[in-house]
Every structure is written in C-alpha cells, then in structure tokens.
Structure 1
Amino acid sequence: MANQLQIPKQKLAKPPLTIHTLGDRVLRQGSKQISGINDEVRKLAAQMLQTMYSSDGIGLAAPQVGVNKRLIVVDIDPENAARPPLVLVNPAIKQASGDLEVDQEGCLSVPSVWADVRRPARIVATYRDLNGRPMSLEASGLLARCIQHEIDHLDGIMFVDRVENQIALAPQLVQKGFSVRDVQLRS
C-alpha cells in the first residue's frame, strides 16, 4: 500500500531526531495543523519512526522531537515486521467511550517513569494518511491508549499531567531528575 512507510523496525546507533524531555517548553505548545502532505512530511514521519524504534517506543508525536506539527506515529507491535506502523496526520478523537480504563503509561519524554492513567477504553480517531486521504480508525485497548497519549502531546499535554496519584508519581520524577513543578494537573 502506498500509504505505508517501509521503515525497518530496528534500533539505530544514532537516531535521526532528538527526543525532548519533561521540562522542555516545546512539549507544552499546541501544534499546528499540517496543510499539505508532501515529501517533507513523509520524511519527518520516517525519521520519527526510526527514532521511536531506536528508543523502544510504541508511539511518538512531532512535538517530542521539537516539531510543532500535528503528526503522530504509532506501532503497538514493534517486534512484528509484517505489521506496518500507523502514521496519523492531523489526528483528532471524534468519539470516546464512556467506560474508562486505568493502566500504566510511560513516555519517551519522561524516560523510566511509569504511572496509572485513566482514559476512555474505546475511541474513534480521524486523520489523514500520507497520501492526504481522510481516514477513520476505531481503536480499543493499548492502541486506543497510545493514540490518546500521542494526541495529548499535540495539545501540550503529557501523561504525567493526567496521573491522579501525584503522591506516588512525585518520587519517581525526582529520582529520574525531573521537576514536579513541570507537571500541569488535568483531569
């Protein structure tokens, strides 16, 4: 399929992009819509995937690599070379289930920190593919969680902002060298 990037799912000694971490201002800015999908956008998506695989991630948003654009990449099965990753341009959640699930989340921008986050169990996301076609995707489980987590990044929200048990989160952040002051509580 022409929409799919053929990126080897492997770690690179030197990933093409640098991942910004909690405390970097670029992570708190709202991202801009991508007006046209061109080779520059496709190259950025490919570099994001290479960087994500090199960091053992399953999702990455453009703001995490310092790019203020509404672009995310997701691969919840990075060990399976036959399953292509998802690239979502201008993604939005159009529908979310009322039933919520709590599960552990981590983030490449907050390395080695894990905490419980409550999110809708099922979503419907709309986006454009790499050919500019409008798409819709129903997701549940880990895929739904990952898409919601990455779309949050596009709006300047990080998973630590959604952690209800801040008392448990704070020592983890401090131990890993992050400031608790960089957390912006949200419901």
Structure 2
Amino acid sequence: MRKRSHSRRGNVRPVRSLGDPVLRTECDPVRTFDASLERLVDDMFVTMYEENGAGLAANQIGVGLRVFVYDCEDDRGRRHIGHVVNPELVVADGERLVESEGCLSLPGLRFETPRYAHAVVEGVDMKGGPVRVEGTGYFARCLQHECGHLDGRVYVDVLSGDARREAMRAIRGLRR
C-alpha cells in the first residue's frame, strides 16, 4: 500500500466500476464550499490510498461533482499531492506518449494508452482559492485521466484500433 502522507481523516468509500452510469455522466460544478466538500476530499484521499491509486475523481465514488485528488510523480521523480475542485484541462500538449495505464474503476486491467507529455489544469481548492497544476510525464497522464472522468469518460475511450478492440474484449470478459 502507498504510504499515506495526506494527514486528513476520512472514510473509505466503494469505488464504482465501469458499467455504473455515474462514470458516464458529466459531473456538475461545485457551488458550495463547506465542510461537506472538505469531507468529500478527505474521503477521496483515504479511498485513493486504500486502493493504491495515483488519482481519484469524485464520480468514481458515486459523487457527481467536479473534484479530483492525486498523489503521483512527474517525469523527474517529484511527488505531487493535492486536489482540484472544478478543474478544467487548459493545456494538453507536447509529445504523445503511449504507456501502460490503469484505472481503479477497471481493476486489474492495464492498456497502452496515448496521452500528452504535458498538461495544465486550472480550478480552485476546497476553500475556493485559485489552483493551477502543471504536470509532465506520469503526472500529466494522471491530470488528463482524472479530468476525463469528470467529463464522463474513462481511459479506454482514448484508445483506438487494435488497442480499443483488445480493451473491449477484456472488459466484456470481466462482466461474465
């Protein structure tokens, strides 16, 4: 299990699996910045660490709000830990890297997934203060992945051709 470095308390919530409609529904913006939002962020961190994830979007635990948390390294080995409320992916550029990617909502499956090597997300923190997060390498991949969740997409949606067909066969095999 990943070392927990986020000091907040929270409760583990069940992670929703592909097939749950909440994963295919665009999330609503957060409009109320209060203790319930802070509890949600705490629960998301605890759940992400319990599941050994690098990121977690609110809809993955059944909450249709635009929030994600993360704890992952960039291409220089620097660890990034945080959360973004009402995130918007404002930059996804640079080289397109095809690397193995997984998702807590598709447990046990990993596919070679194309992502940009650089990403920038803008939003706010749980108090409503502005946040700008810039990532490279694996962290850029994480930012793109989590923003996709909040738009009602999962990572296999960016696959094409043989990779997509392989992913769909594997997903159908999970449902049997």
Equivalent residue, structure 2, for 1:20: 16
Deviation at residue 163 of structure 1 after TM alignment: 1.7
Q: Percent identity?
A: 33
Q: Which has the higher strand share?
A: 2
Structure 2 length-normalised TM:
0.86
Equivalent residue, structure 1, for 2:70: 74
Equivalent residue, structure 1, for 2:76: none
Tell me the number of residue pairs that the alignment of Structure 1 and Structure 2 aligns. Answer: 165
Q: Give the unaligned 5+ runs of structure 1.
A: 78-82, 179-187
Does 2:49 correspond to 1:53? yes
Does 2:130 correspond to 1:134? yes
State the one-letter code of the partner of 2:156.
V
How does 1:29-178 map onto structure 2 within 5 Å?
A: 29-76=25-72, 85-164=81-160, 165-177=163-175
Q: Give the unaligned 5+ runs of structure 2.
A: 74-78
Kept in 1, the 8 Å contact 2:57–2:68? The answer is yes
Deviation at residue 19 of structure 1 after TM alignment: 0.8
Deviation at residue 35 of structure 1 after TM alignment: 1.2
Distance 2:80 2:140 in 1: 17
- List, as ranges, runs of 4+ consecutive aligned residues in structure 1 with deviation greater than 3 Å: none
Deviation at residue 160 of structure 1 after TM alignment: 1.3
User: RMSD value over aligned CA atoms?
Assistant: 2.1
Structure 1 length-normalised TM:
0.81
SS of residue matched to 1:36:
coil
SS of residue matched to 2:107:
strand
Kept in 2, the 8 Å contact 1:113–1:176? The answer is no
Distance 1:85 1:117 in 2: 23
SS of residue matched to 1:75:
strand
